[in-house]
Amino acid sequence: MSNLIFDQLIQKETKIAVIGLGYVGLPIALEFARKIQVVGFDINQERVDLMKNNIDPSNELESSAFEGCDIAFTCDLNDLRDVTFYVVAVPTPIDDANLPNLKPLLGASATVGKVLKKGDYVVFESTVYPGCTEEDCIPVLEAESGLKFKDDFMVGYSPERINPGDKEHTLRNVIKVVSGCCDVSLDQIAKVYELVVDAGVHRAPSIKVAEAAKIIENTQRDVNIALINELSIIFNKLKINTFDVLEAAGTKWNFLKFSPGLVGGHCIGVDPYYLTHKAQLAGYHSKVITSGRYVNDSMGFYIAKQTVKKIIARGKHIQDAKVLVMGATFKEDVSDIRNSKVIDIVSELVSFQVHVDLIDPHASSDEMKHEYGVGLLEKAANDYDAIIVAVNHKEYQQMIESDFKGMLTDGSGVFVDVKGIFRNKIKDLEYWSL
């Protein structure tokens, strides 16, 4: 087997393909396309058409990011003919029972298997449990291609660390973990990624180690946030402001700086389930990780209940109450609404027969309706009993107390500041935060 795959790529004799052009796939495809020839493959024709017109369907990249790139966007398998190096970056969601849904990953493996040739490389970037690449994906590659792993083709795994909406930690400036199935493949894969990652690569000793490294990065975050969320429930009972406590404790050198909040999106709230699933199969019933998931998944309902209590305490009949929820996306300053926990706040309020209006300057109302059956209001009204700032979008951070007063009946009511961004800034309204 040729070990010159890197040389062939930089001499533009062969191409690299990125399979799945979402939040992860498109940025890496464009970075490679500044150095080598790239085929950007996706099954979604609509998205491919947008990218052909220099538009990022995920709304993360400006059109200038496409300039100077040697990339052909396609849904057609025939366009993968000259490709020798495949990067797979398709989604790895969970199903309704919180179990891994490998359908997109196995589908993409089948796609690659159909065009795989002797000497080719396949590197998976999707977040998976340790063992998934070798136990689930490689058998599909072998079955579809009729080729033999290691004898005929090489496989690696290189997890992605980009953070949606984060312009500081980018693909280029964050060390990337790479792994291969042997020393030669590790070296070739590392060289290919070194082309685009200025911060360099970390060579993990095996594919499983690289898979595990990624999954624990997000699991650790999830568990840490869960602890702070639990503390905020305790502090609420003790009538102490959690953010005041965190500010004080944070002056110690080794106190970890996490804050309470909703844990949504398709990474932190999802990846731990991949690990607990694998642990279960290995005969270990994870307790700490699943407890963390339980706490974090309950926060939307908790916030809604606290709001309801406060409205009732003000003498309002809850069925006549009207609440404005500000922010619908899974985190600040992004348009992604997938697995947003704001919807838990909304549905819990609705279960108390509260009238809820939802606004968001970044999210699409059509997408919200499609995903959750709840649309967005264009403009807030001025007769609410409570306002919940659920997501700290920059547009909201610029608002002041009088802006909120203008939206509340008679200029007064309950003000729920989920992320504590208005702490010490709200004087007249009934303030509550996590």
Q: Smallest distance, Å, CB 45 to ligand NAD?
A: 9
Distance CA 211, CA 72 (A): 29
Q: Please say which residue, 83 or 90, places its beta carbon nearer to ligand NAD.
A: 90
Q: Please say which residue, 129 or 243, places its beta carbon nearer to ligand NAD.
A: 129
Judged by CB under 6 A, the number of residues near ligand NAD is 28
Tokens linked to 417: 């500041």
Question: Which of these ranges, 88-96, 134-142, 247-255, 420-428, lies near ligand NAD under the rule CB under 6 A?
Answer: 88-96
Closest CA to 148 of 169, 126, 120: 120
Q: Please say which residue, 330 or 396, places its beta carbon nearer to ligand NAD.
A: 330
Using DSSP, state whether 200 is helix, strand or coil: coil
Question: Which of these ranges, 37-45, 197-205, 255-263, 275-283, lies near ligand NAD under the rule CB under 6 A?
Answer: 37-45
Question: Which of these ranges, 18-26, 223-231, 277-285, 426-434, lies near ligand NAD under the rule CB under 6 A?
Answer: 18-26
Question: Any contact of residue 74 with ligand NAD (CB under 6 A)?
Answer: no
Tokens linked to 294: 């339980």
- Binding mask 137-166 toward ligand NAD (x if CB under 6 A, else -) reads -----------------------x-x-x--
Distance CA 261, CA 254 (A): 21
**Lookup result for tokens 């057609």:** 76
Among positions 21, 140, 141, 407, the unique one binding ligand NAD when judged by CB under 6 A? 21
Question: Any contact of residue 19 with ligand NAD (CB under 6 A)?
Answer: yes
Going from the C-alpha of 190 to that of each of 25, 101, 180, 202, the distances in angstroms are 18, 29, 9, 8
DSSP string, 351-400: HTT-EEEEE-SSS-HHHHHHHHS----SS--S-BSEEEE-S--HHHHT--
Q: Smallest distance, Å, CB 30 to ligand NAD?
A: 13
Tokens linked to 250: 């944070």
Burial class (CB in 10 A: 0-12, 13-18, 19+), 136: middle
Residues annotated as catalytic are 267
Distance CA 237, CA 219 (A): 27
- Binding mask 303-332 toward ligand NAD (x if CB under 6 A, else -) reads ------------------------------
Which residues within the stretch 95-134 sit at the binding site for ligand NAD (CB under 6 A)?
104, 107-108, 111, 125-127
Q: Smallest distance, Å, CB 266 to ligand NAD?
A: 6
Strands (E), 38-131: 38-41, 71-74, 83-88, 121-124
Which residues within the stretch 248-287 sit at the binding site for ligand NAD (CB under 6 A)?
266-267
Question: Which of these ranges, 31-39, 89-97, 344-352, 386-394, lies near ligand NAD under the rule CB under 6 A?
Answer: 89-97
**Lookup result for tokens 């191409």:** 15
Q: Using CB under 6 A as the criterion, which residues of the chain lie in contact with ligand NAD when the complex forms?
A: 19-25, 42-44, 47, 58, 89-92, 104, 107-108, 111, 125-127, 160, 162, 164, 266-267
